[in-house]
Amino acid sequence: MAHSSNCSRQGLYDPAHEHDACGVGFVVDLKGRASHDIVQKAIQVLLSLQHRGACGCEKNTGDGAGILVQMPHCFLEQECDKLGIRLPAYGSYGVGMVFLPTDQDSRRQCERLFEEAVRAEGQHVLGWRSVPTDDRPIGPSARAVEPVVRQIFIGRSGTISDDLAFERKLYCIRRRVERWVKESELPGRSMFYVPSLSYKTLIYKGMLNSDQITTFYPDIVHPAMASALAMVHSRFSTNTFPNWARAHPYRYLAHNGEINTLRGNINWMHARESLFDSALFGGDIEKILPVIDTDGSDSAMFDNALEMLTLTGRSLPHAVMMMIPEPWSGHESMSPEKRAFYEYHACLMEPWDGPASIAFTDGLRIGAVLDRNGLRPSRYYVTKDDLVVMASEVGVLDIPPERVLHKGRLQPGRMFLVDLEQGRIIADEELKMQIAQEQPYAEWLQGNLTSLEELPEAPAPHEPDHETVLQRQQ
């Protein structure tokens, strides 16, 4: 049977129980120097993680592989010049990597809806580029559901002066077109997917083995493809159907593990959406609802929530602390500020719990966090020439011992963060204390939190009127 992108519940299979166990890693230049060498090293990491991925009955049909890079402006500028598309300066345009139906009429309709969404949000379409692909090495099951891959270039309107405001506008565009396509009756609409739409990052991924990514996407090996960071993923879908959309990385993360509390996380997010309010989004808040796309895997839904929390004004590590908190309630040595932070946010969101190692990035900073039990170990290396390598195991990159400045492993509940704007690794304790002290969380708890013991005594039960019981029952 060919892998389908919209498999419904059947027999012993239920899409609600989908989980992953994969290989994840990233390479970053600590000083933020973009180069093709960083991309090449990340591909080597991905190849070293191939055994962590999986394939179907066909060895050349993989569960998924992908790479996330910073926006390669020089490369895209060269490619767009060939098509007569004049790109503005970096930050003044966004790029969407788009999976489209193979049916020509459906594809054109999806593109038309995308362009309508761009115009509706006050931005303008600069043009489209067909991404070069070579599907000869991939297996027949992957090829049977292979989408057409194109890039859309979106110009930033002059009314948007803030970079993050533009990123939020791109988010609204994506959510709008996703909803329009889903509600349409277009044949092959299940193939439509937007791996990334951003001014900062670009994602190449698919239903591939690790060693097929550079063959399928020749862009990746182009010498002008440069980035200061690159995040890679090799997927092992333990009890899910692989497809092109479920390959990692997602827009903000790559994930090794599973979320055990997923059903509760989805339900609580949906229940709270009616109370959502954001000064940054204003009236646009309705456009991004529902936040969670339940057609995705547990990793995709985690990414949905992380994206929303980040774009509504929190820093990326702040949002990760909310979603994967340390075990704080019985932690005797935890500082009062951190304890107050976690207690306050426990009132806003339940932990997304499960054995997981998560690498995350917004294109300006990149890091990783381990679940509170440390059940998905990850290792990192820092070299003397400012290279940082993190992966789900050691030995993913051949680094001579004399070049290694420091090496270690992620600790349960701890965060590892590389900030390219500051050009340094920020220690877990420093990072979390800084975030915990940004607001007076302890004061807010003291002034607003009421414990059950403080509630007034309940009044005596009211004796019902037995003479009218039949009338009230009716």
Q: Are strands 93-100 and 193-198 parallel, antiparallel or unpaired?
A: antiparallel
Q: Angle at the Cα of 313 (from 307 to 314), degrees rounded to 5?
A: 75
What is the DSSP code string of 345-408?
Answer: HHTT-----SSEEEEEE-SSEEEEEE-TT--S--EEEEETTSEEEEESSS-SS---GGGEEEEE
CA dihedral defined by 130, 136, 137, 141, rounded to 10 degrees?
90
Q: Is 249 helix (H, G, I), strand (E, B) or coil?
A: coil
Of the residues 22, 80, 110, 172, which is catalytic? 22
Encoded amino acid at 301, one letter: M
Cβ 47 vs Cβ 210: under 8 Å: yes
Q: How many other CB atoms are there within 10 angstroms of residue 165's CB atom?
A: 15
Active site residue 347: no
Separation of alpha carbons 72 and 88, rounded Å: 13
- The number of residues making up the chain comes to 474
Contacts of 218 (CB under 8 A, 6+ apart): 132, 133, 134
Assigned token pair, 371: 């679940």
Cβ 319 vs Cβ 306: under 8 Å: yes
β-bridge partners, 328: none
**Known catalytic residues?**
22
